Amino acid sequence: MKTVIILSTLLFGLVGAKCSNACNTDNVPKDFRVTLHDGGGMVRAGETYFLSKDSSYAEIWDQDAKTKIYFKVSMSQLKKLYNIIIENQFHEIETYEERVYDRGGTTISYRADGSSYEKSDAGMTFIQESWRDEFAAVENEIREIVSNELDRASIDVTLDIDDSVMDENKIVNFNVGSSFTYMSARDGWQKSVTVRLYPGEHYMYVTMLNKDLSTEPGSKIFAQGQGILTIDKDTKSISVYRDGEKIYWK
């Protein structure tokens, strides 16, 4: 009986020692870092998020617009993220392969205690149905952390719309990346619109459309403009104007 007790104690000690590193979520490993990459496929847009104790950043691209924003993540945020990764057994998530083409998606990797793990839901790799909630829990937490940091860095910018663009016989649409859309047909005519943007480059696309329903190719587009909108921390307003069939901003 004494031998059984000793063996049981030793076994419990071994299991406890093994679990002290993998299951103890009170302390974040010194080398803990997480990367999320989103993009690919046929869309020229995506982002890479990197989170760690020392330095964190969000690198975002949309067409030719590229921006990299650095920020500091608190230990409480990293601890929460680490706990979510451990609790959802991220390293155990199962995937499968399926032949598809032009599919983008999300890849998440992390490093802790000298070990690295990567799981992908992109291209020809898919997350098993039984593990999708666990993958989503980690992905959502990363995105929430970065979203809050980008919002904290963002500023209010006014888009001043020139009279040359204000035409009640036209339909005017503004797109600033995926952050903002203004549609005159939906929002009514406005001389200025305020949008919240983070400092850096944004891809902007503005169109003026004829209201007629002509089916002749290209006949609905009256004027348009597309390109990079650059915002810095001191930007207050942007003027949008038209010259012939081209729309510009400055």
What would the pLDDT profile of 123-153 be if each residue is shown by its tens digit? Answer: 999 999 999 999 999 999 999 999 999 999 9
- The identity of residue 52, as a single letter, is S
| CATH of region 24-153, choose from 3.30.1560.10, 3.90.1210.10, 3.40.50.1580, 3.40.50.300 | 3.30.1560.10
Mean pLDDT of the chain: 88
Residue 212 pLDDT grade (very low, low, confident, very high; cuts 50, 70, 90): confident
Domain range list for the chain: 24-153, 155-249
Question: Using one digit for the tens of pLDDT, what is the confidence trace for 78-106?
Answer: 999 999 999 999 999 999 999 998 899 99
CB 7 within 8 A of CB 32: no
- How far apart (Å, rounded) are the C-alpha atoms in residues 200 and 57? 13
Residue 218 pLDDT grade (very low, low, confident, very high; cuts 50, 70, 90): low
Q: Identical fold at 24-153 and 155-249?
A: no
- Find, among 210, 230, 243, 206, the residue nearest to 64 by Cα: 230
In CATH, what is the architecture of 155-249?
Sandwich (2.60)
Which residues neighbour 120 within 8 Å (Cβ) at sequence distance 6 or greater? 95, 105, 106, 107, 108
